[in-house]
Amino acid sequence: MTDASVLPGRPRDGVRTGPATARAVNVLAPNASAMTLDGTNTWILSEPGSGLAVVVDPGPLDEGHLRAVVDTAERAGRRIALTLLTHGHPDHAEGAARFAELTGTRVRALDPALRLGDEGLAAGDVITVGGLELRVVPTPGHTADSLCFHLPADRAVLTGDTVLGRGTTVVAHPDGRLGDYLDSLRRLRSLTVDDGVHTVLPGHGPVLEDAQGAVEFYLAHRAHRLAQVETAVEDGYRTPSEIVAHVYADVDRSLWPAAELSVRAQLDYLEEHGLIPRRSEDV
């Protein structure tokens, strides 16, 4: 058995439905895959003793899962009062409209196309429901509309796909941009240093007990991959698919299409910073 204490971010043992902090309960969606890990973590957040709850990322359009989220809240004596989205990928947001029907809630998101109701989400917003306080942290990069939610009372941050509980995430080119993603990781690092955040509640994978360690690992990993891609270009590898086959040779081939998205984002970044020559349009 691997010692979790030496893994990046100190992941908890396993991914499961149930309480994660004093204010956060996970309901794991049944959509496990190479890209979604154990499945999507749908988070129910509430202040202890409150009869109201907030749900972050209802997950896929799976009726059984959506009803399980409602049932979990109701068994705890809570009514779901608001639905929030970290970003618009289907494994996080596809079930939001149906979930809103089941709960009678608004859906707030950065992307207007995902909202149900008049209110969106923006940097600096503070959301309060039943005494619970959440702070909106803009973290573009994985996608342009990616957000995190800072839960100060639990010294935790809900990261969606910006930081995962296991492995690393994809910069989903062309919507995602590497420069934005690196800035977002630095923003999360400042939460760990300046605001005392120590717990990551990710969109996939186990809870992480060492938020700063996780973010530092992500920053180091991105720097390493970027250097590998730059070297590959210098060595004559031209197309994203050629670079993936060279740089990601030790990665499961089923993940290569996702890796190619990140490579395209890395190539754009290297071009923008003058570190490699401009490529022709067909590369």
Which of 185, 144, 143 lies closest to 163 in space, CA to CA?
185
The residues pairing with 129 across neighbouring beta strands, listed in sequence order, are: 132
Q: Which of 38, 57, 62, 91 is catalytic?
A: 91
Catalytic-residue membership of 111: no
Distances 93 to 6, 20, 141, 212 between C-alpha atoms, Å = 33, 21, 17, 27
Q: Are 143 and 231 in contact (CB under 8 A)?
A: no
Cis peptide before 174 (omega within 30 of 0): yes
Active site (catalytic) residues: 91
